[in-house]
Structure 1
């Protein structure tokens, strides 16, 4: 007797909602672990990271002058409002609701705002909601006094979850947070949150290529970041590196070569799409594109004005020296918050090449200081391993919801 063979049903698509460069990257890596098609709704920018997951974008694109930090400063907020923040943002809500139709689950990677959008999309479409919160950490509260809290009123929701965010999180089917301290903080407030590993370390690439570095010299990673802060910070970093002749400095450059801003009197030689050489003040410093993993893993110390990159270096046990910019991201308030997050792994100093070079020199020459930095970085960031756990949970929830409908 012939039996009819029924083909296994294809899994329903999954909708990702994310709002930031790092959030897009985490979402894209997570999407790559899931079967079935992927849709994504980027609330800030174009969500280019999802291209690697062969995902389909739903909804409009919102380009913000602040790069997604409207409350980083009053100027950021004014610029974003002029760019259509309110009207386009409201449109994205309806885009997300429509994009969730026919999917198996809604995955939010981002902050409270992204969670609001995702909660509406999931509820109106009767879908499981998974929240991946890579931004908040209970460690932001370490050493935060009343004066500090008043200085950072504009970033209150970046220091700790607001009551409305906790209420939304309680309504999610699964919540994953960035560290063990935050898991405890959420659970004490009735949110069944899980820490399964560090998202930042999950998205840190392995070395992309050999760097062929000179032996016996410490390596200084320069991390100007993916935001527009690099226009201000890269020249300062290069001048600091020029004051460290016994150190090999490498710039992990995430932008086009046209975006490079050099100190006065410096020149840039573009050698290929992947490498350029900045020369000035007696120094020659390589800028490398598409080699962040290689630079990060080769470094002995870093100077950074970046969010995720600074945390990834700290998570590797590498001390990071930082300085505030005028924004849009790495402002004085952001630097203070990251300092509380990373503890001894991050040292924030003035935006002065001489001061930066002195701090690098001091750290490299002090074994005890490097050991404390490594300990704090490794323990506060934690190991990789979250994304496979989250992917399995998304599949389970989508399957359970589908079975319940039968």
Structure 2
């Protein structure tokens, strides 16, 4: 398709389209590296991560009961349909087209659906299109097999790129993927994708504060995640940690204190906006808000029911133990997929505090097991460094041609 590109005297606005919490975070960090006006169209939720940058939201907010995982289960899909998924989603397509008017480029951070919305907005407005795909990985196919694929039919498009997504990606001006294995896979299918570094590690915060830990005790990070799974998973994690008096357990808590769900008989003492202490079963465990970077870098081992946070800990070389919830995100299928992605860096167990505590002890007593987990995580996630490369490519595509046809 021919596009007429005219450079403006000032940096043209850039429209970001993203559809998920992690995707919003990646988009917001990327937006912070760019000059000029940033517009954003979050397809799921409010896109709160963009608030940290000087950005302007375009279009409506779609709040989904599933938290953006309508195909995670049949119940998720039914709840989202009742919440107006179809009608509101169509409205978002029109919002994105309007938001791209006068922009210099459209940047999609998300899956095939987000890419469809971004492709329409970019083509109607004759703009360059950049796709940042942080979800798909060729490593999701490791050991999947036919039986596994049939069991995960609802996640087929999350396990491998569908033909329509590849076709859309071929029409993009730049495509960035999450790991080297996916770059090779895309290129075999005719998409000139690039792996410039790990998006997950790019958005991992530096340590925000000192944690004042005992030097002679291993640190167990508890990662209940940003989705509603935490209401089911946090009590299990706390009960497991209470069985491990030899470790220092820290909860990386991303929610308000009012969202804390405790095991029966436990109490919560809110000490400040950023720290609380929960006590029960003879244990006292700290919950820390706004300190994920510090907790992640202090951890020797983790128990997590999170998507990005589990991957970030693995990327730091920390073994992660996981268990499935009833959703909306960290279902059995999601846990299996993440297990294939992370290999020996992730161990998926039963949601039983006794089993989880035993696995923590087993790993802490096995230097060779820790070493294999660390190697798998470091290798499969890869190093940081993608976002500056992508930012430079966006600026090049948005403003390097004057009155030319492409």
TM bracket, shorter-chain basis: over 0.9
Q: Deviations over 1:49-92 (max 9, x none)?
A: 00111100000000000000000000000000000000000000
Cα distance between partner residues in 2 of 1:65 and 1:54 = 28
Gaps of 5+ in 2: 1-7
Alpha-carbon offset, residue 9 of structure 1: 2.2
**SS at 1:10 equivalent:** coil
Match of 2:5 in 1: none
**SS at 1:33 equivalent:** coil
Asked if the contact 1:109–1:133 (Cα under 8 Å) also holds between the matched residues in 2, the reply is yes
Match of 1:263 in 2: 263
Match of 2:34 in 1: 34
Match of 1:64 in 2: 64
Are residue 349 (structure 1) and residue 366 (structure 2) matched?
A: no
Alpha-carbon offset, residue 149 of structure 1: 0.6
Cα distance between partner residues in 2 of 1:70 and 1:378 = 31
Q: Deviations over 1:373-395 (max 9, x none)?
A: 00000000000000000000000
Q: How does 1:356-375 map to 2 (within 5 A)?
A: 356-375=356-375
Cα distance between partner residues in 1 of 2:151 and 2:66 = 20
**SS at 1:206 equivalent:** coil
Asked if the contact 1:104–1:402 (Cα under 8 Å) also holds between the matched residues in 2, the reply is no
Match of 2:105 in 1: 105
Asked if the contact 1:319–1:373 (Cα under 8 Å) also holds between the matched residues in 2, the reply is yes
Cα distance between partner residues in 1 of 2:54 and 2:302 = 34
Are residue 85 (structure 1) and residue 68 (structure 2) matched?
A: no
**SS at 1:175 equivalent:** strand
Q: Deviations over 1:220-267 (max 9, x none)?
A: 000000000000000000000000000000000000000000000000
TM-score by length of 1: 0.97
Alpha-carbon offset, residue 340 of structure 1: 0.1
Alpha-carbon offset, residue 400 of structure 1: 2.9
Q: How does 1:241-260 map to 2 (within 5 A)?
A: 241-260=241-260
Match of 2:169 in 1: 169
Cα distance between partner residues in 1 of 2:146 and 2:243 = 39
Gaps of 5+ in 1: 1-7
Asked if the contact 2:229–2:325 (Cα under 8 Å) also holds between the matched residues in 1, the reply is yes
Q: Deviations over 1:182-220 (max 9, x none)?
A: 000000000000000000000000000000001200000
Cα distance between partner residues in 1 of 2:167 and 2:381 = 26
Cα distance between partner residues in 2 of 1:293 and 1:47 = 21
Q: How does 1:220-299 map to 2 (within 5 A)?
A: 220-299=220-299
Asked if the contact 1:128–1:401 (Cα under 8 Å) also holds between the matched residues in 2, the reply is no
Alpha-carbon offset, residue 404 of structure 1: 2.3
Cα distance between partner residues in 2 of 1:201 and 1:11 = 28
Match of 1:76 in 2: 76
Match of 1:95 in 2: 95
Q: Deviation above 2 Å: which 4+ runs of structure 1?
A: 400-406
Cα distance between partner residues in 2 of 1:143 and 1:228 = 29
CA, structure 1 residues 363+403, in 2 after alignment: closer, same or farther (shift >3 Å)?
farther
Cα distance between partner residues in 2 of 1:401 and 1:357 = 59
Cα distance between partner residues in 2 of 1:16 and 1:403 = 24
Match of 1:203 in 2: 203
**SS at 2:107 equivalent:** strand
**SS at 2:404 equivalent:** helix
Q: Deviations over 1:302-332 (max 9, x none)?
A: 0000000000000000000000000000000
Asked if the contact 2:229–2:329 (Cα under 8 Å) also holds between the matched residues in 1, the reply is yes
**SS at 2:67 equivalent:** coil
Match of 2:377 in 1: 377
The RMSD of aligned alpha carbons is: 1.0
Match of 2:4 in 1: none
Cα distance between partner residues in 2 of 1:105 and 1:85 = 27
TM-score by length of 2: 0.97
CA, structure 1 residues 212+402, in 2 after alignment: closer, same or farther (shift >3 Å)?
farther
Cα distance between partner residues in 1 of 2:103 and 2:182 = 30
Asked if the contact 1:254–1:290 (Cα under 8 Å) also holds between the matched residues in 2, the reply is yes
Cα distance between partner residues in 2 of 1:215 and 1:226 = 29
Q: More relative contact order in 1 or in 2 (CA 8 Å, sep 6+)?
A: 2
